[in-house]
A = this chain, B = another copy of it.
Amino acid sequence: MSATLPDLESTVSEIADEMRARSDRGAVAHYIPELARVDAKHFGIAVIAADGTVACGGDSDMPFSIQSVSKVFTLTLALGRYGDRLWRRVGREPSGSPFNSIVQLEREQGIPRNPFINAGAIAVTDMILSGHQPREALGEILSFMRFLADDTDVIIDEAVAASEQRTGFRNAALANYMKSFGVLDNPVELTLGVYFHQCAIAMSCKQLAMAGRFLAQSGCHPKTGLQVIQPERARRINAVMLTCGHYDGSGEFAYRVGLPGKSGVGGGILAIAPGKASIAVWSPGLDAAGNSHLGRVALEALSKRMNWSIFGA
């Protein structure tokens, strides 16, 4: 344990090389037509260490659809606005089910198990929307991402949003189902509109890792020194990421990587080494649980080599 840790930049660079050479890449998500067109060959990684060091590799500047990684940031926004009242609308237990399961909702009166499965994220977005026009709510989410990433170039990919809006029947089912239990306040189509657009935010690994820094630093935004969220809440968001951030592969991710993380169906993963680093990886091919295959492999390697697991000494 006391052995000298390897150099971060060369480690990240090695991992990027190793990932480029691998042929096991999983399958690109096909259920959102626009995403299915992305080349499975891409791999990017960006690490922002607590001291500000930036280590990148592969396609770390290429924007991709962050999809469900956006749920971390909308949860942060909604916790900021509603505090613990948020937990009346959504639980914080692992679901033991796939990301888009509706079974649990029937058993539990329309209350989603956690904010990182689709149903839970839709409920959180509905809370952000309340009292606003969809355009305003989206603007707030986008501004928040740009602020966190220190980058005004973060945009919404309208083609992806439109693609999902045309084909997102399963999410429409989840939203209508929750609406039938009174868990959503706004018209279903408005809430879904904001949700599909938030998922269509496009960011590079570097932008995403920048945006995640506050979670590695007790809720503090390094550049401005602003407290994005209270330290305790930052810890708790990390805890929910650890137990629920990879759907029905959350246990596996905790077991192998040992870091809080949130994946998206676009192939991105944001992972947090508390006190040490904010990390983003991207590889579009997914495993059976819907999480980036090489993204997880790369994070496992990084966590091991840097000795960053939260479960070890």
Spell out A's residues near B (CB within 8 Å): 1, 50, 91-97, 101-107, 113-114, 169-170, 172-177, 179-180, 188, 216-218, 231-232, 234-236, 238-240, 242-244, 248-252, 254-255, 258, 260, 274-275, 304, 309-313
Find out whether the CB atom of A252 lies under 8 angstroms from the CB atom of B188: no
Count of identical protomers in the assembly: 4
Q: Which residues of B contact A106 (CB under 8 A)?
A: 101-103
Bound CA–CA A281/B273 (angstroms): 28
Query: Contacts A180-B169, A242-B242, A254-B242 known; A235 to B312 CB distance under 8 Å?
Result: yes
Find out whether the CB atom of B176 lies under 8 angstroms from the CB atom of A93: no
Query: Contacts A102-B173, A169-B177, A177-B173 known; A250 to B93 CB distance under 8 Å?
Result: yes
Task: Offer 22 A-B interface pairs, CB within 8 angstroms, sorted by A.
Answer: A93-B94, A93-B96, A94-B250, A102-B105, A102-B106, A103-B107, A169-B180, A170-B176, A173-B175, A173-B176, A173-B180, A231-B313, A234-B312, A235-B258, A236-B311, A239-B251, A239-B311, A240-B251, A242-B254, A243-B254, A274-B312, A274-B313
Q: Which of B104, B170, B312 contacts A180 (CB 8 A)?
A: B170
Find out whether the CB atom of B169 lies under 8 angstroms from the CB atom of A176: yes
Q: Which of B113, B172, B179, B217 contacts A96 (CB 8 A)?
A: B113
Q: Which residues of B contact A309 (CB under 8 A)?
A: 235, 239
Find out whether the CB atom of B104 lies under 8 angstroms from the CB atom of A311: no
Bound CA–CA A311/B254 (angstroms): 13
Q: Within the complex, what minimum Cβ distance (angstroms) separates A196 from chain B?
A: 14
Bound CA–CA A170/B106 (angstroms): 11
